[in-house]
Structure 1
Amino acid sequence: MNLKATLEQWRMFKAVVEAGGFNQAAEQVHKSQSSIHHAVQKLESALGLTLFFNEGRRVTLTEAGELMYRRACYLLDEAHKVESVANSLKSGVETYLRIAVDIIFPPEMLYKALNKVSQDYPLLRIELMETVLNGANTLLKEGEVDLGISPFPLNSGFSEDLCEIDFIAVAHPSHPLHALNRVLTLEDLKGHRQIVVRDSSTERKAESGWLGADQRWTVSHVRTSIDIIRQGLGFAWLPLAIIRNELETGVLKPLPLEQGGLRKALLFLCFADGDRLGPAARAFLGELRYQTMSLPSVESIAE
């Protein structure tokens, strides 16, 4: 079937919508105002639709224009993806890999996976972005990263279960909660300072594991939370794999909670389009899956 409109006409239409007028669009796409106007006129003629109302120097979308704009954005985005896939195929191995990783993922496993990929692809440049909660998926949606490890599945894209992270409620051995020398309830915790981690996403803000304690310190990284708790200044649910050394050496001590002392969070491996991933990215995914097979458990720590 022959298409009535070209990608360039759709691109000019989109530019006019987003710039608010033909003159403004001409400045942004570096074309003459007459050429943009002509492209949109041909588009309207081919479709048999009126896409704009003229309001002085500005234009407003008609109802049909609003629908066409949404579809045009999708069409142009897909066209860019097709070209990106072609570029990846042409170049063979990618030279740049951008990864967003939630801070609860065990860093040792991440470093091993990154090192293995760097050994196999020595010219690969890697950019690592540490995120919290919705942060990784926001970066994926904005096209800022190629891969993400996130506590949430990606709504538009690919997500697979990667691993389950155990969180354990802990405090310094000298913390007043340990001095109670009895089984604790969640109500006992509410009278003490809880350390929580802030969502790094710009879209939605949440806080990791907040109990609703009367006192709360909010930080941006799990390492900061660990440092504060090591000083005896609060309690928190922390990733077991990250505080394994502190537990083994007695710097941190699990709180004897009646229930809720252990929490679990599923991490997802996310990416927007698998066809755009090159061999280095795929090698990283495989190594990541291999590394997570040896995650520590509560039982292994107890032993």
Structure 2
Amino acid sequence: MQKTTLEQWRMFKAVVDAGGFNQASSRVHKSQSSIHNAVSNLEAALGVKLFEISGRKVMLTEAGNLMLRRGSYLLEEVSRIEVIAKSLGDGVESELRIAVDGAFPQGVVFQALEKVSAIYPQVNIDIIDTVLSGTNELIQEGLVDLGLSALSMDNSLNDEICLIEFVAVAHKGHPLHQLDHQLTYDDLKSHRQIIVRDSAIQTNRDSGWLGAEQRWKVGSLRASLDLIAQGLGFAWLPMPLVSELLNNGTLKLLPLIHGGTRSNSFYLNFKDQDKLGPAARTFMGELRLLTLNMDTADQYQG
């Protein structure tokens, strides 16, 4: 059974914040004697002295300083719990967890979430970066509320949200650009391919053409782009990610006869629509509006 009460901790912190018992009395609108009693009972329950008197000043003891740190954390947690409880009572979720595939334009996600935060400022946002089947694994395990993925989900809801173009690229000085003909997959086989590793643990998978004799796997599209920009390989990357480097000439499209470009559908996935709160529904609505006629090259933010 707990020996202390939240009210005792609140009165203790009020004395510290106000600088004395008399000042705390005015701040919390309680009598000085009731505050004294609360602090005395707290000291008795803890078995330590929290304050000492130095002249007219009330000073924290060494034990008091330690208890203040612990007590402040306790009161902050209680305050958070009360905010969450109010949100739940109002029907608004306390947190919105979203898994986002690295190939999806980040700027679109951020714009939609900014609208959500303006309407529901008390909702905490948790964005998790994923690759390939990583998004859907998190949804299946209940670790996120919804996700953006290039892969649909079986026995779940898949809302196709947009198409994103992937292009085969290499640095302008890469040997593949020195060949005096259009390229075939045979031309690619003897050169290093950069592949982004699936972030899923249980169902990781490879995607796209994997015919190169030498392959490097990395954990993110950004890492893949860095390697490509240094001339260390070739890859198929989303146009929104590479458009700036293509425009300034750092990268060039590989002149493949077939398969140099491909388009992937991206889905807004979730398991149970009835379990989605108002913040999640607002995000979904804003995302649909933003992706309706978006130019993904303009919307991408790294």
Normalized against structure 2, the TM-score is what? 0.67
Task: Report what 2:172 is aligned to.
Answer: 173
Aligned pairs for 1:51-130 (under 5 A) are 90-130=89-129
Aligned pairs for 1:269-288 (under 5 A) are 269-288=268-287
Deviations along 1:122-161, whole A, 9 cap, x unmatched? 1110001111111111111111000011122221321111
SS in 2 for 1:93: coil
d(CA) in 2 for partners of 1:133, 1:219: 13
Change beyond 3 A, Cα 1:275–1:93: same
Normalized against structure 1, the TM-score is what? 0.67
SS in 2 for 1:208: coil
d(CA) in 1 for partners of 2:229, 2:160: 32
Deviations along 1:149-200, whole A, 9 cap, x unmatched? 1122221321111111110000000000011132111111111000001111
**Aligned-pair CA distance for 1:294:** 3.7
d(CA) in 1 for partners of 2:283, 2:100: 13
Aligned 8 A contact 2:139 2:271 in 1: yes
- Please tell me whether residue 211 in structure 1 is matched to residue 246 in structure 2: no
Change beyond 3 A, Cα 1:106–1:92: same
Task: Report what 2:159 is aligned to.
Answer: 160
**C-alpha root-mean-square deviation of aligned residues, in Å?**
1.8
- Please tell me whether residue 293 in structure 1 is matched to residue 292 in structure 2: yes
d(CA) in 1 for partners of 2:198, 2:142: 19
d(CA) in 1 for partners of 2:209, 2:191: 12
Number of residues paired by the alignment?
212
- Please tell me whether residue 189 in structure 1 is matched to residue 188 in structure 2: yes
- Please tell me whether residue 232 in structure 1 is matched to residue 231 in structure 2: yes
Aligned 8 A contact 1:196 1:210 in 2: no
Change beyond 3 A, Cα 1:297–1:162: closer
SS in 2 for 1:127: strand
Change beyond 3 A, Cα 1:141–1:293: same
d(CA) in 2 for partners of 1:177, 1:204: 33
Aligned 8 A contact 1:192 1:234 in 2: yes
Aligned 8 A contact 2:88 2:94 in 1: no
Counterpart of 2:187, as a letter, is D
Aligned 8 A contact 1:140 1:271 in 2: yes
Aligned 8 A contact 2:167 2:236 in 1: yes
Task: Report what 1:199 is aligned to.
Answer: 198
Aligned 8 A contact 1:88 1:278 in 2: no
**Aligned-pair CA distance for 1:89:** 7.2
Counterpart of 2:214, as a letter, is Q
Structure 1 range deviating more: 286-295 or 197-206: 286-295
Deviations along 1:216-266, whole A, 9 cap, x unmatched? 000110000000000000000000112121111112111111110001111
d(CA) in 2 for partners of 1:196, 1:294: 30
Task: Report what 2:221 is aligned to.
Answer: 222
Task: Quote the sequence identity (%).
Answer: 51
Task: Report what 2:245 is aligned to.
Answer: 246
**Aligned-pair CA distance for 1:292:** 1.6
d(CA) in 1 for partners of 2:197, 2:227: 15
d(CA) in 1 for partners of 2:188, 2:131: 24
Aligned pairs for 1:3-42 (under 5 A) are none
Aligned 8 A contact 2:192 2:234 in 1: yes
Aligned pairs for 1:248-267 (under 5 A) are 248-267=247-266
Larger C-alpha radius of gyration, 1 or 2?
2
d(CA) in 2 for partners of 1:99, 1:270: 10
d(CA) in 1 for partners of 2:246, 2:125: 32
SS in 2 for 1:238: strand
Task: Report what 2:130 is aligned to.
Answer: 131
Deviations along 1:19-78, whole A, 9 cap, x unmatched? xxxxxxxxxxxxxxxxxxxxxxxxxxxxxxxxxxxxxxxxxxxxxxxxxxxxxxxxxxxx
d(CA) in 2 for partners of 1:166, 1:99: 23
**Aligned-pair CA distance for 1:277:** 0.9
